[in-house]
Structure 1
Amino acid sequence: MAMTSSTRWAASRRRSGDAFRAAAERRGRGSRCLPNMTRCRGLATAAVTTRWLHRGSARRSGCPRSFAGEIVFLGTPAEERGSGKQIMIDDGLFEGIDAALLYHPCDRTHVESAPLASEDVAVTFIGLQAHAASDPWKGKNALDALVLLFSSVGLWRQQLRTDARVHGIVTEGGTAANIIPERAAAWFMLRSPDQGYYDEMKQRFQAMAEGAAMATDTTVEVVYSGGAATMNHNRTIMANVSWVCPTIHPEMSIVDQPTAGHSTAFRDAAAEPRADETTLLAATLVAQTAYDLLADPSLVEAAWREFRTRT
């Protein structure tokens, strides 16, 4: 699609809603992607770009003094648990967008990011409740099934590719020590940079869950939700959005030493002066990129040509 007279740019996206809010609030502070930085950067980028355009910051050599275009600021609800961007894509919010630009804080500075294909997996085992001392033989232990699944996952990791991941937590394990649990549940995540291998992982995980249920004479329900795709590196990409339009997803460091993401240390770094400076720098760089796209339609056309060869 050639660029038309109206150019739209998405910085990021957020749709409000109780479901999204609840999903986000269930996660701990260290588990979030520093929204204090990403939101401020997005707002600052949109504001700076708009100001430049209205001022005709076209003092830059070769730039026109007027533009036929639109800047769209979008935030993402439940961007980790709930796959907010995919919901927004399904709702058509990225239709007509010529380029999507996003920055993310990191412990390194680099142009491309490589997120893994990922889904949330809710696993629930149902057994039969009984008194654990007086008549345990009458029960069917759902927690035993869940423990067996975790053991199976631990053994599976030895044969997984080094770039694949599977991890989970117990969300429900019974009500009392003297009662055989009738219900047990867990939240897992499967990840891989290869979509084909990821599909194989899902099949294997399903088989392990069913095997644990068979071994304990319980039943199991495995529900997949969300769903983040692998990256389509067309000027770098933010996963699902990258398969809809040309997208960039650079990352800039806010720390001096390697620091694990979603850790308390990384969260605390977001409150330091360096993080503020990085946020302002990122907003400026992304705004300059947006300005260049608006000022030079050939850049957008070139990005779309490359995009089509990769999708």
Structure 2
Amino acid sequence: MLHPFTGDYEVASFASLAVRDVEVTFHGVASHASSAPEKGRNALDAVVAAYQGLAALRQHIPSTDRLHCLITEGGSAVNVVPHLASAVVEVRSLDPEGLADLSRRVQHVLEGAALMTGTRLEAAWDPFPAYLPVRSNAGLAARYHGHMSARGRAITLETELVGGGWSTDLGNVSLRIPSIHPTVSISRDSTPMHTVEFGQHAIGPAGDAAVVDGAIGMALTIADYLADAGLREQTRLDFEAAGGAVDVEQLLTPPTGK
């Protein structure tokens, strides 16, 4: 799998974070916000308390870990105590063990927000399967690196993860079969991903050139694998040395908060 990037970040083998989501709903009690506020239990207060709790938690997690939160529902009328409020929380960590630990801490924050507001928490973990870190195959990455270098790309063989990062479902695939996930630059400017400017680079001439170069680099790497028995054996040995095929679904279970 190949992903566009910007600046000098062109690598044959990149490091990624594990990630999982939890869809959060707080159930409160509706009431008139002015005439009978004492009869209500504010679900929006619970979401806000959870958001603030997650913000405080960010101070005490490893530098590579990340927490994101988006409030998706917070009531429909200002003069009614919101009986329902929702959010999505995303948890990222360097490895499955760190992801499981941070997930438990997030669950505790969510439960605390429900307790302090008198609301009921509904936390639906993993609405889609968690993404685990990419396990890059050294032999395949080296061949891809050689082909892209021959095309004039200033590509690095591998990189270390520092200060957070991104995540991909190819991580799960790479724990089942030998895989690589290189990046290819679509602009010399260091434009952040998931922005309008990034999209403009992607549809520009540099983006088109990156697609062609990347496709050729991947195709030649596949051709090498098919034609070279030595590379196939090296790929197999590298994969087995890294742990072989892993049952991804067994690595993470939803936290109970206990």
Q: TM-score range by the shorter chain?
A: 0.7 to 0.9
Aligned counterparts, 1:100-119, within 5 A: 102-107=1-6, 108-119=9-20
| TM-score, normalization by structure 2 | 0.79
Aligned to 2:55: 154
Q: Distance in 2 between matches of 1:110 and 1:146?
A: 40
Structure 2: gaps (5+ residues): 142-167, 244-258
Aligned length: 210
Aligned to 1:271: 203
Q: Distance in 1 between matches of 2:238 and 2:214?
A: 25
Q: Distance in 2 between matches of 1:308 and 1:224?
A: 31
* Letter of the 1:264 counterpart: V
SS at match of 2:60: coil
The counterpart of 1:234, out of the listed 129, 137, 140, is 137
RMSD, matched Cα: 1.2
Q: Distance in 2 between matches of 1:130 and 1:136?
A: 6
Contact kept in structure 2, 1:245 and 1:304, CA below 8 Å:
no
Select the structure with the greater relative contact order (CA < 8 A; seq sep ≥ 6).
2
Q: More strand by proportion, 1 or 2? A: 1
Structure 1 residue 297: Cα displacement: 2.4
| TM-score, normalization by structure 1 | 0.66
Contact kept in structure 1, 2:136 and 2:181, CA below 8 Å:
no
Q: Distance in 2 between matches of 1:131 and 1:268?
A: 48
Q: Distance in 2 between matches of 1:294 and 1:142?
A: 58
* Letter of the 2:208 counterpart: D
Contact kept in structure 1, 2:72 and 2:88, CA below 8 Å:
yes
Aligned to 2:116: 215
Q: Distance in 2 between matches of 1:274 and 1:207?
A: 46
Structure 1 residue 302: Cα displacement: 1.1
Encode CA deviations 1:253-277: one digit per residue, 9 max, x unaligned. Answer: 0011211111111111111111001
Encode CA deviations 1:145-192: one digit per residue, 9 max, x unaligned. Answer: 000000001111111111000001111110111110000000110001
Q: Distance in 1 between matches of 2:83 and 2:24?
A: 14
Range that drifts further, 221-230 or 135-144: 221-230
1:137 aligns with 2:38: yes
* Letter of the 1:121 counterpart: V
Range that drifts further, 232-241 or 109-118: 232-241
Structure 1 residue 231: Cα displacement: 2.0
Q: Distance in 1 between matches of 2:108 and 2:239?
A: 37
SS at match of 1:143: helix
SS at match of 1:158: helix
Contact kept in structure 1, 2:95 and 2:132, CA below 8 Å:
no
Contact kept in structure 1, 2:19 and 2:131, CA below 8 Å:
yes
Aligned to 2:91: 190
Structure 1: gaps (5+ residues): 1-101
Aligned counterparts, 1:237-252, within 5 A: 238-252=170-184
Q: Distance in 1 between matches of 2:38 and 2:79?
A: 13
* Letter of the 2:48 counterpart: V
Contact kept in structure 2, 1:117 and 1:192, CA below 8 Å:
yes
SS at match of 1:180: coil
